[in-house]
Amino acid sequence: MDRAAFLAELDACREAVEAELRRQLPAADEAPTDLHAALRYCVEAGGKRLRPVLLCKVAGALGATVDPLPAAAAVECLHSYSLVHDDLPAMDNSDLRRGRPACHRAYDEATAILAGDALLTLAFEILATEYPDPPGLAGLLVAELATAAGSRQLVGGQAMDLAVNGQVASAAELAAINERKTGALFAACTAMGAILAGAAPPQRESWRTVGHELGAAFQAIDDVLDATASAEETGKTAGQDATNLKNTLVALEGVEATRRRAHHHTEEARRQLDLLLPDGDFLREMLAYLRERTH
């Protein structure tokens, strides 16, 4: 698959995910209107939709016969919730997200807390209501996503990140944070794609590994971009992580070593992918695309 064909397929999948999100979210004029408008504001802010696309494409490559789009919308709701809560004044205190005011700036802090809570809850409601068949599927999907989002993974990573803030984190600490804050949700996406296709537990575990490697590569590239790209390219203030004394891979080991790290993890993901899926063209092209992205 060449880059142009990949980009066309990526766009098509992203649009399908966004249409599904619009279908799943309550209308902005449904009471309570401020809350529902805030939900749509947070979710419709754009973003690359890489996690839901990844889920859909793993499901498709493995021949899933159930529709992956509701599950893809669920993981995007969960991702959006984590961004809304991370941006809060008591957390990272970020005023901008994707080039627009963060939710607590566009609305208010209480609405942002509640919008995050509602998006997190909606993620599980979608999984539980949209996958009644085959029986047991909904439970597996909820278990996968809830485990990845819980206090040992996603939420735990944010807690660890806040705990080291203002201090210099060790490489081990930073790896533990990134695995939880980024890797866990990427792993849930690849595993949920496999679950939708009926994969057995050992295959699910292999797909989690692919997701973790992808997440590690993604995070390394994100840190490089934050340190080097202009505000226009990233939609946030350039060098913001450095200004806030945030612990990043670039702060710890420099731009070049972080780029090499991204390369290493993409290669690991590709190696796993070759074992799991001899003809996963889109996913292999996605690895290259992720490694080369500039925003």
Q: Which of residues 90-109 bind a second copy (CB under 8 A)?
A: 90-91, 108-109
Shortest gap between Cβ of 31 and a second copy (angstroms)? 7
Q: Counting contacts by CB under 8 A, is residue 42 touching a second copy?
A: no
Dump the DSSP string for the chain. --HHHHHHHHHHHHHHHHHHHHHHSPPTTSSSHHHHHHHHHHHTT----HHHHHHHHHHHHTT--S--HHHHHHHHHHHHHHHHHHTSTTTT--SEETTEE-HHHHS-HHHHHHHHHHHHHHHHHHHHHH--SSTTHHHHHHHHHHHHHSTTTHHHHHHHHHHHTTSPPPHHHHHHHHIIIIIHHHHHHHHHHHHHTT--HHHHHHHHHHHHHHHHHHHHHHHHHHHHS-HHHHSS-TTHHHHTT---HHHHHHHHHHHHHHHHHHHHHHHHHHHH-TT-HHHHHHHHHHHH---
Q: Which of 118, 30, 4, 123 is nearest to 72 (CA)?
A: 123
Q: Does 35 participate in binding a second copy (rule CB under 8 A)? A: yes
Distance CA 215, CA 50 (A): 11
By the rule CB under 8 A, 146 interacts with a second copy: yes
Please say which residue, 119 or 225, places its beta carbon nearer to a second copy: 119
Window of 15-23, 158-166, 239-247, 271-279 that interacts with a second copy by CB under 8 A: 158-166
Stretch that binds a second copy, among 124-132, 203-211, 261-269, 285-293 (CB under 8 A): 124-132
Nearer to a second copy, 104 or 291 (CB): 104
Which range in 110-118, 226-234, 236-244, 267-275 contacts a second copy by CB under 8 A? 110-118
Binding residue (CB under 8 A) for a second copy from 56, 114, 224, 286: 114
Q: Is 85 in the site for a second copy (CB under 8 A)?
A: yes
Q: Of 23, 152, 271, 293, which one interacts with a second copy (CB under 8 A)?
A: 152
Q: What does residue 238 show for φ and ψ, rounded to 5 degrees?
A: -65, 145
Binds a second copy by CB under 8 A, chosen from 2, 29, 65, 135: 135
Amino acid at 181: K
CB 135, min distance to a second copy, A: 3
Q: Which is nearer to a second copy, 241 or 285 (CB)?
A: 241
Q: How far is the CB of 84 from a second copy (least distance, A)?
A: 11
| Rg, the chain, Cα only | 18
Complex with a second copy: residue 246 or 284, whichever CB lies closer: 246
Binding piece for a second copy, criterion CB under 8 A, among 35-43, 192-200, 214-222, 252-260: 35-43
User: Binding a second copy by CB under 8 A: which of 7, 11, 23, 30?
Assistant: 30
Compute the distance between CA of residue 224 and CA of residue 248 in angstroms, rounded to an integer: 9
Q: Does 261 bind a second copy (CB under 8 A)?
A: no
Please report whether residue 138 would count as binding a second copy according to CB under 8 A: yes
Residues in contact with a second copy by the rule CB under 8 A: 26, 30-32, 34-36, 39, 81, 85, 88, 90-91, 108-111, 113-114, 116-118, 120-122, 124-125, 127-129, 131-132, 134-140, 142-143, 146-147, 149-152, 155-156, 158-160, 162-163
